[in-house]
Structure 1
Amino acid sequence: MSRPQDPDVEDRGTAPGLRLHQASCHCGAVRFRFLSHIEEVVQCNCSYCVRKAALHHRIDARHFELLAGARALNLYRFGTLRATHFFCRLCGTHTHCHPRSAPAQINVNVRCVEDVHLWLATVRVRDHDGRAWALDTA
């Protein structure tokens, strides 16, 4: 991904209307950005997502850039060990994951996005029955 300066920049290589979102963990050690048009987020009820309380938004991995904190990231896997969940080892914030259903994509935790409180109420929240899905695909 290029290094655009304008927060409303469009990625000319993909669909128009993508916005650049800046995000970080709670302590700021892990910082990342991604291009996306966020209309919907997913709330999963699997055993892990319920505990971490993340709101997921899936993006193409090409639109994600880790800016800082690679050494601060820890990885967690469970169940089939195919999904990779990343969190800051300093503050514990879940930042993103590579879902097992789409390993070439990234689910970002939109609760990490700067100024999320200003627009989150305008976004559709879709429930995902990850608890049942995990049992069906185990």
Structure 2
Amino acid sequence: MEGGLVKYKGGCHCGAVRFEVWAPQTLNVIECNCSLCVKKQNKHFVVALSQFKLLSGHDNLTTYTFNTHAAKHTFCSTCGVQPFYIPRSNPDGYGIAPHCLDTEAKKVKTEKFDGQRWEEAFKKSNISTYSKKQ
């Protein structure tokens, strides 16, 4: 454990994309209801860029953007799984799918985010500070 953070490893389904991430033992998971997050069941926690390392699979990653094109939804071009992405709320961080970690976090706190009313919800939330807190 480094500075209260734990190292997790994870990846996509086929194993082509592998990463490691330093995050708290208790993960603050965001459950968004925007059109894309609902379709792909995107629950994620956010970490700063410096807390994430892609170990393998850079060439397997494909990126999808829509609407404002601020979020970079990356996924494995072989199996289609999105283990992480760059969120609109934190372009200086990564949104990590907790279900793509090799080991479960000891504790998870979930915060619902009203992505259908993104701008209004973002102003009311503390979501922009997640990558700085961790």
Note if 1:25 corresponds to 2:20: no
Flag the 1:72–1:134 CA change in 2: closer, same or farther, 3 A.
farther
Q: CA deviation at 1:136?
A: 7.8
Matching residue's letter, 1:32: F
* Moved >3 Å (runs of 4+): 134-137
Question: Do the aligned residues in 1 keep the contact of 2:114 with 2:121 (CA within 8 Å)?
Answer: no
In 2, the alpha carbon distance for the partners of 1:39 and 1:99 equals 17
Partner of 1:34: 21
Percent identity, aligned pairs only, is 36
SS state of the match for residue 39, structure 1? strand
Partner of 1:131: 116
Q: List runs of 5+ in structure 2 lacking aligned partners.
A: 123-134
Higher relative contact order (CA 8 A, sep 6+): 2
Alignment root-mean-square deviation, CA? 1.8
Q: Number of paired residues?
A: 121
In 2, the alpha carbon distance for the partners of 1:70 and 1:30 equals 7
Partner of 2:78: 90
- 1:1-138 equivalences in 2 (<5 Å): 9-10=1-2, 16-37=3-24, 38-116=26-104, 119=106, 122-133=107-118
In the superposition, the TM-score normalised over structure 2's length comes to 0.83
In 1, the alpha carbon distance for the partners of 2:121 and 2:100 equals 30
